[in-house]
Amino acid sequence: MAKRQPLNSSGIFYDSANLGDFKKWFNARILGGATTNPLILQKEGVLNLPKHISRMIDISGPGFPISIEIPDTKMSKQDMVSLAMRYHKKFPKNVVIKIPMDPKNPPKAYEVIYKLGQEGVRVNATLGLGMGQLVGAAEALRLSKAEGDNYISLFWGRREEAKDQIVKALVKSGMKREAALEKVPDAASSIAMTLKYLETHGLITKVIVGSIRTIDQIEKAFSIGADIVTIPPKLISEWMYTQRGVETVNEFNKAYRDLKDEITLI
């Protein structure tokens, strides 16, 4: 059985288009990459994507993976590949192309993913809500010629919402709620099953968990074995914070400051 190799960088990816917070957390040297998507770019009022990505790279420098998403699943396969290649040419040392997986037409995304891999373009297969999508994307990346990691992304929060929808439909059809809940995998189970498949079949694609809403989800995702969790800056701050920690720091500071004129530090 093949053993998956660990990341060569942090598993914490920045999930926002806010440049101020990006600079703050990048300078803290805890980030291994960054992701963007049409929704978070829209929230920050970003309309010129190349200019925005250039500003991110001005902060991070070369070699730092930044995901740029193909914005519309209705684009033709040729147009998706063409746009991805233009991004790759403009930002060859940073760009990772996010290919959205539309459940209505999975083969389309996988074909684009495969073609980009053959062109040496790094890919982040996104909008994953279940094991099937993730495994399909990982297989499409099996023969990728890109240098550096490729990724498959499961959206934790949205997977939980999808589970609720499926459970409600099963209950409506006559199944008992307890049985329906047991039948439908949750986000944690979907990640665990995907990681097992990757290990069994010798696939080195890295697993990203996105759509994170709570600190508990961050910690569960890492504890299951996710390679990366994409985290909004507000949640990064909350993850690092405890009130008892603040109180402890204040106690230690006071102990020093009360006697600092009498203490020799070195």
**pLDDT 10s digits, 98-116:** 999 999 999 999 999 999 9
| Per-residue model confidence as pLDDT tens digits over 135-155 | 999 999 999 999 999 999 999
| Per-residue model confidence as pLDDT tens digits over 161-170 | 999 999 999 9
Query: Can you tell me the mean pLDDT for 18-47?
Result: 97
pLDDT at position 1: 44
Exposure string for 166-178, b = 16+ CB within 10 A, e = fewer: ebeebeeeeeeee
Using the predicted structure, report yes or no on whether residue 78 has a pLDDT greater than 80: yes
Question: Count of alpha carbons within 13 Å of 14, Cβ hemisphere only?
Answer: 26
Confidence tier at 204 by pLDDT (50, 70, 90): very high
C-beta contacts of 47-50 below 8 A and 24+ residues apart: 50/90
| Per-residue model confidence as pLDDT tens digits over 208-241 | 999 999 999 999 999 999 999 999 999 999 999 9
| Cα–Cα distance for residue pair 200/117, rounded to 1 Å | 22
pLDDT at position 3: 63
Instruction: Please state, for a pLDDT cut of 90, what percent of the chain lies above it.
Output: 97
Nearest Cα residue to 109 out of 76, 142, 146, 67: 76
Using the predicted structure, report yes or no on whether residue 2 has a pLDDT greater than 80: no
CATH class of 12-257: alpha beta
Query: Can you tell me the mean pLDDT for 2-20?
Result: 87
pLDDT at position 7: 81
Using the predicted structure, report yes or no on whether residue 188 has a pLDDT greater than 50: yes
pLDDT at position 8: 80
Tell me phi and psi for residue 38, to 5 degrees: -55, -35
pLDDT at position 4: 72
Query: pTM above 0.75?
Result: yes
Instruction: Please report, as a single letter, which amino acid is at residue 241.
Output: Y
Mean pLDDT of the chain: 96
Query: Can you tell me the mean pLDDT for 71-76?
Result: 97
Query: Can you tell me the mean pLDDT for 11-26?
Result: 98
